[in-house]
Amino acid sequence: MKKSLKVLVSVILICILASSVVLLVACQKDNVDVDKPVEGKQVLHILNWGDYIAKADDNFDSVVKEFEKANPGVQVIYITADTNELMLNMLNGDAKVDILCPSDYAIEKLIKEDKIQKLDLSKLPNIANVEQKLYEKMNNVFGDNNGKGSMNEYTVPYMYGTLGVMYNTKAVTPEDAEKAGYGLLWNHLQNEKLEKKVLMKDSVRDAMVATVLYLKETKKLPDKYDKMPIEELINNTDDELLKLIEDCLIEQKKNKALKKYEVDDGKGEMEKGDAYANLAWSGDAIASMWKNEDLDYFVPEVGGNIWYDGWVIAKGSTNVDLAHKFIDFLCDPVIAARNSMYIGYTSAVKQDALRNSEDAVEIIKDELEIDDIEEYFNDEIAYPNLDNQNLAVMRDFGDKESDIITMWERVKNYGNTSKILGIVFGVLAGVIVIVVVVVIVLKKTSRKGKITKFADSSKESEEDEDDDYDEEEDDEESEEEDSEDGNDEEKIGDDE
């Protein structure tokens, strides 16, 4: 039995080892760095969001390739991240980064932590093409960053937009959408079609903005918060307010509105009709609306978030001049138009600069299939009012970041306990079945051994009994012979 158990354990260990090897190989394959520095080339390491720069099409090479062609001897190594937090972790980790494109509040954090350097504006002639109202809004919000300098000293805006609600007009009427506001994401109007059809961003920042504004529009905020300007409200991190936000996000799960949290795949689900409401960024909404005419997007009347992503140069960059060249290259109206049309977001290059470039105008008109460029410039989704005080900018969480991330994990894990227990019990049941089967097999094997041994011992016993019986017969015969001999002797004696 011990031998059988050893064999079983050996087989299990081999299976585990084989699985580990397969997983290790798979992980290594996923992490292969396809782009390697070419000897003799000047290398620029760029960290950006996924699908956030124009790729090649019938008329142009990719924007990255165009930059390499415009700068012979230069090689771009391009990596991506899908959240600001991951982007910052990559910058702080082992990734080589010269230039990156985080969002406004992440840039504020990088300035505080002294992770990025000030720009040399003399190396950025195309910066005159950038919308100055964006700089004004940034500087009004962030000031001088505790004496470290204004935002325009560190960053050049790339794209901007709003956070709002995208919905399917076949499931929700425009009138009901406007009436519900952010409540559409909580199925506030109890529309049966929205059950398990609501998507939220897997981003604590965006989720908090939508939640606190939903609480405001439904009159569920205490007066001290309700009276705050939108800018102050969406950036407030009081424990009392965080508890209200957490409870409200859990309520969204309880009322069966939420389908899942997502970052990028929400666009596809909305386009295919697999979801009917989505907390969305305006650029994603525009791109989805191009593909599905049943979709619409709005920023609820109560207010919302206006954001921008901007290019910054890492403190440890070894190619500062080349990084400036790349930023300036992106501020060219033609390149800006290409990027904007590919991504779906609004370029920070101002309208006049785009209007004054015939090539840029043609790119936009061809992509949108419009005759008049003003039709695009007058679109309120693409070009939100930068003077609207109810469109607020997010700030860095500061010392409260850890508490907020912990809260967010509690929210996301809520309701998953039963699923986890189900998996655990399923695994345990499987293990128990295997153990029972093994024990039965081992017992059968053991019993067979015992039966064989018993049969052998019985046979030996019978043989021994036969031998004993034979010996007894021999003894009896011997005694009889001895008796006969004695009798013969007695007869002889008598005769004598």
What's 67's domain CATH number? 3.40.190.10
- Residue 431 falls inside a structural domain: no
Q: What are phi and psi of 43, to 5 degrees?
A: -105, 130
Q: Per residue in 151-178, pLDDT tens?
A: 999 999 999 999 999 999 999 999 999 9
* Parent domain of 17: 1-32
Nearest to 182 by CA among 87, 278, 98: 278
Q: Per residue in 172-210, pLDDT tens?
A: 999 999 999 999 999 999 999 999 999 999 999 999 999
- Residue 173 falls inside a structural domain: no
User: Which pLDDT belongs to residue 426?
Assistant: 60
Give the C-alpha separation, 91 to 58, whole Å: 34
The token duo for 187 is 């199925």
**Residues 47 and 20 both lie in one domain:** no
The token duo for 47 is 């960290």
**Residues 26 and 121 both lie in one domain:** no
**Residues 23 and 115 both lie in one domain:** no
Long-range Cβ contact pairs of 284-288 (< 8 A, separation 24 or more): 284/166, 284/344, 285/164, 285/166, 285/381, 286/344, 286/345, 286/381, 286/382, 287/343, 287/344, 288/166
**Residues 45 and 140 both lie in one domain:** yes
**Residues 136 and 38 both lie in one domain:** yes
Give the C-alpha separation, 262 to 278, whole Å: 9
**Residues 139 and 26 both lie in one domain:** no
**Residues 92 and 25 both lie in one domain:** no
- Residue 331 falls inside a structural domain: yes
Return the DSSP state at 170. Answer: T
**Residues 381 and 346 both lie in one domain:** yes
**Residues 26 and 51 both lie in one domain:** no
User: Which pLDDT belongs to residue 456?
Assistant: 55
User: Which pLDDT belongs to residue 453?
Assistant: 52
- Residue 194 falls inside a structural domain: no
Helices and strands per DSSP (H, E), number in the chain: 19, 12
The one-letter amino acid code at 308 reads Y
- Residue 113 falls inside a structural domain: yes
Nearest to 163 by CA among 208, 122, 116: 208
DSSP SS3 for 73: coil
User: Where do the H-state alpha helices sit in 301-372?
Assistant: 320-330, 333-343, 351-355, 358-368
**Residues 42 and 150 both lie in one domain:** yes
- Which ranges of the chain have pLDDT less than 70? 1-35, 417-431, 433, 435-439, 441-496
User: Which pLDDT belongs to residue 144?
Assistant: 94
User: Which pLDDT belongs to residue 416?
Assistant: 78
Question: CA torsion, points 402, 405, 407, 410, in degrees to nearest 10?
Answer: -130
User: Which pLDDT belongs to residue 13?
Assistant: 43
- State which of 353, 369, 395 marks the end of a domain: 395
**Residues 325 and 370 both lie in one domain:** yes
Number of folded domains that form the chain: 2
- State which of 375, 395, 415 marks the end of a domain: 395
Give the C-alpha separation, 302 to 298, whole Å: 11
- State which of 379, 395, 411 marks the end of a domain: 395
**Residues 139 and 51 both lie in one domain:** yes
User: Which pLDDT belongs to residue 38?
Assistant: 80
- Which residues make Cβ contacts (< 8 Å) with residue 326, sequence separation at least 6? 44, 46, 67, 76, 99, 311
